[in-house]
Amino acid sequence: MLDPHVPAVVLAPMEGVTDAPMRHLLAAEGGFTFAVAEFARVTHTPLPAHVLRRLVPELDHAGRTPTGLPVLVQLLGGNPERLAESAATAVRAGAPGIDLNFGCPARTVNRHDGGAVLLKSPARIHAIVRAVRAAVPPHLPVSAKLRLGWDDPRAILDTAPAAADGGASWLTIHARTRAQGYAPPADWPRVGQAREAVRVPVVANGDIHTLDAFRRCRELTGCRHFMLGRGAVADPALARVVAVELGLPAPPLPPPGPVDWPARIKRLLAVVPQLARPDGELRRVKQWLRMAAGCGTFDRFDAIKRATDLGELLGELERAN
Give me the residues that bind ligand FMN (CB under 6 A), please.
Answer: 12-17, 38-39, 74, 101, 103-104, 145, 174, 205-208, 228-231
Residue 270 C-beta: closest distance to ligand FMN, Å: 23
CA dihedral (163, 145, 46, 1) positive or negative: negative
Instruction: Determine whether 217 is an active site residue.
Output: no
Sign of CA dihedral 29, 31, 34, 38: negative
Cα four-point dihedral sign 71, 77, 78, 82: negative
Which residue of the set 104, 217, 223, 295 is catalytic? 104
Q: Measured from the CB atom, is 8 or 318 closer to ligand FMN?
A: 8
Closest chain position to ligand FMN (CB): 229
Closest approach of Cβ 320 to ligand FMN, in Å? Answer: 26
Q: Is 154 exposed, middle or buried (0-12, 13-18, 19+ CB in 10 A)?
A: exposed
Rounded to a whole number of angstroms, the minimum distance from the CB of residue 306 to ligand FMN is: 21
- Are the CB atoms for 100 and 54 separated by under 8 Å? no
Question: Toward ligand FMN, which CB reaches closer, 201 or 206?
Answer: 206
What is the Cα–Cα distance from 202 to 224, expressed in whole angstroms?
Answer: 8
Question: Quick one: 130 or 176, whose CB is closer to ligand FMN?
Answer: 176
Q: How far is the CB of 147 from ligand FMN (least distance, A)?
A: 8
**Strand-strand pairing, 98-102 and 71-76:** parallel
Cβ nearer to ligand FMN, comparing 12 with 25 = 12
Dist. CA 312–CA 305, nearest whole Å: 11
Q: How far is CA 34 from CA 13, 100, 120, in A?
A: 11, 16, 29
- Our CB check for ligand FMN shows the closer of 75 and 131 to be 75
CB of 31 to ligand FMN, least distance (A): 14
Measured CA angle at 265 (ends 261, 266), to 5 deg: 120
Residue 304 C-beta-side C-alpha neighbours within 13 Å:
29
> Which residue numbers are catalytic?
104
